[in-house]
Structure 1
Amino acid sequence: MSGELESLEHILQTYIPAQELKEVWRILYGRECRSLDLPEDAVQAAISGSFELKGYYLIEAAPEQLRRQNIVRVGLIQNKIQAHTSLPVLEQIHALHKRIADMVEAAAICGVNIVCFQEAWTMPFAFCTREKLPWTEFAESAENGITTRFCQELAKRYNMVIISPILERDEAHGDVLWNTAVVIANSGAVLGKSRKNHIPRVGDFNESTYYMEGNTGHKVFQTAFGKIAVNICYGRHHPLNWFMYSMNGAEIIFNPSATIGGLSECLWPIEARNAAIANHCFTCAINRVGTEHFETEFTSGDGKKAHNDLGHFYGSSYVSAPDGSRTPGLSRVSDGLLVTELDLNLCRQTSDKWNFKMTGRYEMYAEELTRATRPDFQPDVVRE
């Protein structure tokens, strides 16, 4: 069933009368859902390309006297792998490049300024298998690998910032592998990279077989369309991770992920939305979709029988605003492009209203956290 249910939104639209549905959307998502009027060329591209296309407004910032509106359109792309996992590595990569090129073209038609792909988008999510080959062959340079060059061409062609999460091979430091997001400016220049800060060791998701915690900290990238950051996958479970990107000035934090039903689906609609609220910024949660089969069986070390797939990646990508509202999600079963229009002025306006950073006791937290990390730490518990 996990790979068959289209989406919660589809069920609500099917069974709830239109008048009641309007109020349901408001309660679930913080405001009435306002759809973008997307170009017919993009709609037809989605139909011919067999991917879902949705567009929403999340602007709602009040007019200001000293600042103009700061409107940005973001695009989130979720997709299945395009070639079987047993086929040659380059064939799998090129098939995904072709698929993403078509979807990015549709995003460009829709006026998208910043697009983000899912975690490790150029390959199957093989980090569950513990096998080294052929999966480490998907790793490439963040600066000049074939995928970065491919994305640079797209960025220049469409005047679009591209966030490209890949498996990185760091040849300058002994061929070390990292889970990395490459940020490419709309000029086509490589603006920089952000590595995954938190590595899961949960069942099949024992990814330290391939890479360890990142060493790039909490970089924020100043782009032509705003200040952005990339919190890769498992980092979304760590509130301080979101917080540090926000403290460095991020207006939009992207969360490219690969996560399956059963393990995390109840958390998915909550975490990025909570982070947007807590940090007065927009958050974009992207999850891959589909079930990926591998030839060699693998086990989790949890007593379950050996299996050939990790489970169903449930998609459901969405965008949240700093005021707590969010868009509906994309499908749980289909490739999709979600286009969302934001007014970045809402970040400061929400901060001025709620004052979380003004009322946060960061010096107190810093002192107590420093004490808590010491070997001789004793919890501050008062007993009778």
Structure 2
Amino acid sequence: MENRERSIKNIIEDKLTGDQLKEFNRIYYGREDHCTLKLNDEAIRKSEEDGIQLAGYSFKAANEDTRPPRVVKLGLVQHSIVLTTDNPVHSQRNAIFYKVKNLIEIAASEGVNILCLQETWAMPFFLCTGEKEAWSEFAESATNGLSVLFLAELAKKHGMVIISPILEDDNGTWWNTAVVINEEGRILGKHRKNHLPSVGSFSETAYYSPGDLGHAVFDTKYGRIAVNICYGRHHALNWLMFGLNGAEVVFNPSATVAEFGESFWGIEARNAAVANGYFTCSINRVGTEEFTIKTEPGKSISRNFYGSSYVTAPNGCRTPSLSRVTDGILVAEVNLNLCRQVKDQWGFNMTSRLNEYAEELNQVLLQK
């Protein structure tokens, strides 16, 4: 196995066994055992046949006298593009649709209730090219765009809530948007990416504006969910507002390459889960995407995405990551009662002193 393919889990399990491995897991993952889910044979067969990594883990909560367990299955999907980026737009998109439909069918066979795809899942992540017009055909409506309609059918078929991150075209204005589709195939609403990077070749402000929809939390059949798109994970207040608005699960669909923060990929969403008392789901695309710059003949750009999708519980326990290089589905069976149990235990909300911070933030802003 090449170094680029090896995960922390692979490396450690090659070196440690027995009590040593349990102790590592306790310190690094927050629990000695990964609480692996038993997956059904047909899903395993199908995923192996298609070269898809399928993994499942559970998070328990204490039994309560006044509330029944609120057990929900979350699904995270990471994948590469299918065709090279010089193919026609409709060919690239249809090939991804075919792949993603297969991934969702496998997730559905595992009983997934809420599923999230990666950032701008139905297209290559072309923002590194510095070109806009050449890629405009990938932009779509958040109400009747091709990928939204495609997923609405699958959501209804499987009784599944699906989060669809897209490049939104709203009457000629572009946004980086996540559309939330409920289990009946209806659009519940959308969230637009609040924080945009201007780092190296990723200058997203050249393509679209920072989000204008605040920090919406969507009340679904299965729980209260929110979406913190990619770069927003670097902003603690972004995570905070989703929690204050009542989120129980916050998804972080991303398209991130190694040179832009792989060393803290496993930290930020985990910290947010602990600080805010909710589950976090980190999804990152995989594969290499190569682009020829149309305005500069002979110039090309290559980007390698590192996958590593994972889930963290509000008590800080987390799953192992999916592969750094392979398409994958991570299924997490969670009990949402754990959110309040952890809040009651740690008292972070009670001791947050938000009024004091609000006053001091206002003073800082007035001085600028």
TM-score range relative to shorter protein = over 0.9
Deviation of the 1:309 alpha carbon:
3.0
Counterpart in the other structure of 1:195: 192
- The residue that corresponds to 1:349 in the other structure is 341
Tell me which residue corresponds to 1:382. Answer: none
Q: Map of 1:200-239 to 2, 5 A cutoff?
A: 200-239=197-236
Counterpart in 2 of 1:96?
A: 96
Deviation at 1:16, TM superposition (A): 2.1
Structure 2 length normalisation: TM-score? 0.96
Report the Cα distance in structure 1 between the residues aligned to 2:295 and 2:30, rounded to whole angstroms: 42
Query: Normalization by structure 1: what TM-score?
Result: 0.92
- Provide the rounded CA distance (Å) in 1 between the counterparts of 2:103 and 2:5: 23
* Aligned twin of 2:357: 365
8 Å Cα contact 2:292/2:301 also seen in 1: no
CA displacement at 1:370 relative to structure 2: 1.2
Q: 1:130-185: per-residue Cα shift (whole Å, max 9, x none)? A: 112331210000101111110000001100000000000002xxx10000000000
2:320 to 328, 343, 364: 328
Counterpart contact for 2:254–2:285, Cα < 8 Å? yes
Other structure's SS at 2:183 match = coil
Instruction: Note if contact 1:74-1:340 (Cα within 8 Å) is conserved in structure 2.
Output: yes
Q: State the shift of 1:12 in Å.
A: 1.8
Mapped to 1, the partners of 2:80 and 2:295 lie a distance apart of: 21
Q: Is the 8 A contact 1:129 1:298 kept in 2?
A: no
2:44 maps to amino acid: V
Aligned-residue offset at 1:3: 7.7
Deviation at residue 20 of structure 1 after TM alignment:
2.5
For 2:112 and 2:45, the matched residues in 1 are separated by 17
Whether 1:259 and 2:259 are equivalent positions in the alignment is no
1:138 aligns with 2:121: no
In 2, the alpha carbon distance for the partners of 1:311 and 1:143 equals: 30
Question: Whole-Å Cα distance in 2 between the matches of residues 184 and 96 of structure 1?
Answer: 19
**Contact persistence 1:3–1:332 (CA under 8 A):** no
Superimposed CA distance per residue, residues 61-84 of structure 1 (whole angstroms, 9 cap, x where no aligned partner): 110000000001000000000111
Report how many aligned residue pairs link the two structures. 366
Equivalent residue, structure 1, for 2:301:
309
- Residue 67 of structure 2 is matched in structure 1 by 67
Structure 2 unaligned segments of length 5 or more: list them.
Answer: none
Query: In structure 2, what is the Cα distance between the partners aligned to 1:177 and 1:6?
Result: 37
- Give the direction of change, closer, same or farther, for the CA distance of 1:360–1:62 in structure 2 (3 Å limit): same
Q: One-letter code of the match for 2:351?
A: T
SS at match of 1:197: coil
The 10-residue stretch of structure 1 (184-193 or 19-28) with the greater mean CA deviation from structure 2: 19-28
Q: CA deviation at 1:292?
A: 0.4
Map Cα deviations across residues 204-257 of structure 1 (whole Å, 9 max, x no partner).
Answer: 111111111010100000000000000000000000000000100000000000
Q: Secondary structure at the match of 1:266?
A: helix
Report SS of the residue matched to 2:263. Answer: coil
1:18 Cα offset (Å): 4.1
2:258 maps to 1:294 = no
Q: Is the 8 A contact 1:218 1:248 kept in 2?
A: yes
- CA RMSD across the alignment: 1.6
Counterpart CA distance in 1 for 2:89 and 2:18 is 48
CA contact (8 A) 2:130 2:201 kept: no
List 4+ stretches of structure 1 deviating above 6 A: none
Q: Which amino acid aligns with 1:44?
A: R
Counterparts of 2:193 and 2:185, CA distance in 1: 23
CA distance in 2: counterparts of 1:71 and 1:94, whole angstroms: 34
Shift of 1:2: 9.0
Moved more, 365-374 or 316-325: 365-374
Code of the residue aligned with 1:351 in structure 2: it is K
2: CA distance, partners of 1:75 / 1:330: 12
Q: Percent identity?
A: 51
Q: Distance in 2 between matches of 1:310 and 1:197?
A: 26
Distance 1:314 1:287 in 2: 7
- Is 1:283 aligned to residue 277 of structure 2? no
What secondary structure is seen at the aligned counterpart in 1 of 2:165? strand
Cα distance per residue 1:9-43 (max 9 Å; x no partner): 12222232244223222221001211000001110
Aligned residue number for residue 59 of structure 2: 58
- The alpha carbon displacement at 1:5 in A equals 2.6
Q: Which residue of 2 aligns with 1:153?
A: 153
